[in-house]
């Protein structure tokens, strides 16, 4: 190889690898490949050579030109990448496009009381079970000792689908399936069924401050040998005292539900006046909170459990009502309003 070419190649390569910025690189490009550049000058000088010399010299200068062109391109790429990397590193760690004063999300008051109740019942050995919102007439009524055309159905008018199924009007609709699924297995092992099943319920209601067509309940059942009303009262009183964080008195009044016998309305001592009587409790000192009762023998046998041997209680806690009481929500319609302003002010006090 021609010595001149070798010397030039070394010189250019050295300069290129020493360059650290793009404008300097552009200067090198002009000084080598530009019109008056050193490589261009070699090409131009070829005209003074003999034809034989020209051939080999020409090939060598051309490969030098290619080499320099390629090295410059590589260097451009390398320096651009470095530039971007430096820009990224210089960026602040937080996202400057995030709007200021971003509000934190919050739980809905019903979710809050539901979770509190679940925690309390779980600590007392109850399983929490999820159940569909669309159920059959059998699950919602017939298995619960409410035959077709029974007047008790009038209290729970709901929304029917074209296929005959319906939106569940109460969480009791899960009772039959739960007794069937877990009953036999647990009874054989000599263990009780203890389950709660919270869920959304629907009724065809005219809405006002106290009524909604969509609301939440939390059903609970316990079945074993020798279960009595005292067990029911114990669990309800314990749970409510935990939820309200004070000792709550409860009382039972007779109430009719075809799937319990005897059936009750459970009242709690008024949270506002403590039982002395005030406008909130209509001067009675009591607030109606939770229908309940001892599971009807027909419901047990429909669930595959022998009513001669086993008894159980069931309750249908109104979660929506409980949330309203606990958080002082006056109008039930606020709960489904989707208003973040109204719903974001509640926090878990655990």
Q: Contact with ligand PHE (CB under 6 A): which of 109, 192, 198, 316? A: 316
Give the span between the Cα atoms of 56 and 60, in whole angstroms.
6
107 vs 256 by CB, closer to ligand PHE: 256
112 vs 290 by CB, closer to ligand PHE: 290
Q: Contact with ligand PHE (CB under 6 A): which of 192, 291, 303, 312? A: 291
37 vs 199 by CB, closer to ligand PHE: 199
What minimum distance in Å lies between the beta carbon of 246 and ligand PHE? 25
Binding mask 249-278 for ligand PHE (x = CB under 6 A): --------x--x--x---------------
Binding mask 153-192 for ligand PHE (x = CB under 6 A): -----------------x-x--------------------
Give the span between the Cα atoms of 140 and 143, in whole angstroms.
7
Q: Contact with ligand PHE (CB under 6 A): which of 314, 323, 324, 329? A: 314
What minimum distance in Å lies between the beta carbon of 347 and ligand PHE? 29
CA-derived radius of gyration, the chain = 41
Q: Given the structure tokens 């190889």, which residue do they identify?
A: 1
Strands (DSSP E) contained in the chain are 127-128, 134-135, 166-167, 193-202, 214-224, 250-254, 260-269, 286-295, 311-318
Which parts of 53-112 interact with ligand PHE (CB under 6 A)? none
With CB under 6 A, what is the number of residues at the site for ligand PHE?
A: 11
DSSP string for residues in 12-28? HHHHHHH--SHHHHHHH
6 vs 155 by CB, closer to ligand PHE: 155
What minimum distance in Å lies between the beta carbon of 344 and ligand PHE? 29
Q: Contact with ligand PHE (CB under 6 A): which of 37, 183, 293, 312? A: 293
Nearest to ligand PHE by Cβ — which residue? 316
Give the span between the Cα atoms of 144 and 142, in whole angstroms.
5
Q: Residue 213 CB: number of other CB atoms within 10 A? A: 15
- The verdict on 300 binding ligand PHE (CB under 6 A) reads no
What minimum distance in Å lies between the beta carbon of 218 and ligand PHE? 10
Contact 250, 236 (CB under 8 A): yes
Q: Which residues of 281-306 are buried (b: 16+ CB within 10 A; e: fewer)?
A: beeebbbebbbbbbbbbebbebbebe
Contact 287, 271 (CB under 8 A): yes
Largest CA distance in the chain: 124
Which residues of the chain form contacts with ligand PHE (CB under 6 A)? 170, 172, 257, 260, 263, 291-293, 314-316
């Amino acid at each position: 190889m021609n010595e001149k070419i070798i010397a030039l190649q070394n010189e250019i390569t050295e300069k290129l690898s020493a360059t650290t910025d793009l404008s300097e690189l552009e200067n090198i490009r002009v000084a080598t490949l530009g019109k008056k550049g050193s490589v261009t000058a070699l090409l131009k000088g070829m005209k003074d050579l003999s034809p034989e010399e020209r051939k080999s010299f020409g090939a060598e200068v051309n490969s030098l030109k290619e080499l320099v062109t390629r090295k410059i391109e590589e260097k451009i790429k390398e320096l651009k990448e470095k530039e971007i990397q430096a820009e990224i590193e210089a960026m602040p760690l937080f996202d400057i496009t995030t709007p200021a004063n971003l509000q934190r999300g919050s739980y809905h008051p019903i979710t809050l009381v539901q979770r509190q109740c679940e925690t309390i019942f779980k600590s007392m050995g109850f399983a929490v079970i999820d159940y569909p919102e669309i159920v059959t007439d059998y699950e919602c009524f017939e298995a619960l000792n409410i035959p077709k055309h029974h007047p008790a159905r009038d209290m729970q008018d709901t929304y029917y689908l074209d296929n005959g199924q319906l939106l569940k009007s109460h969480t009791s609709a899960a009772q039959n399936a739960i007794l069937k699924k877990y009953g036999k297995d647990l009874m054989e092992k000599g263990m009780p069924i203890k389950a709660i099943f919270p869920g959304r319920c629907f009724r065809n209601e005219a809405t006002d401050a106290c009524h909604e067509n969509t609301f939440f309940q939390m059903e609970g059942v316990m079945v074993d040998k020798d279960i009595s009303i005292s067990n029911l009262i114990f669990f309800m009183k314990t749970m409510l005292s935990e939820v309200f964080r004070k000792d709550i008195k409860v009382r039972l009044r007779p109430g009719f539900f075809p799937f319990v016998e005897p059936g009750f309305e459970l009242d709690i001592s008024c949270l506002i006046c403590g039982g002395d009587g005030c406008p909130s409790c209509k001067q009675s000192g009591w607030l109606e909170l939770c229908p309940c009762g001892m599971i009807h023998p027909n419901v047990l046998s429909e669930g595959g459990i022998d009513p001669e041997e086993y008894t159980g209680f069931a309750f249908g806690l109104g979660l929506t009502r409980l949330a309203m009481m606990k958080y002082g929500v006056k109008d039930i319609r606020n709960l489904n309003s989707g208003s973040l302003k109204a719903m974001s002010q509640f926090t878990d006090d655990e």
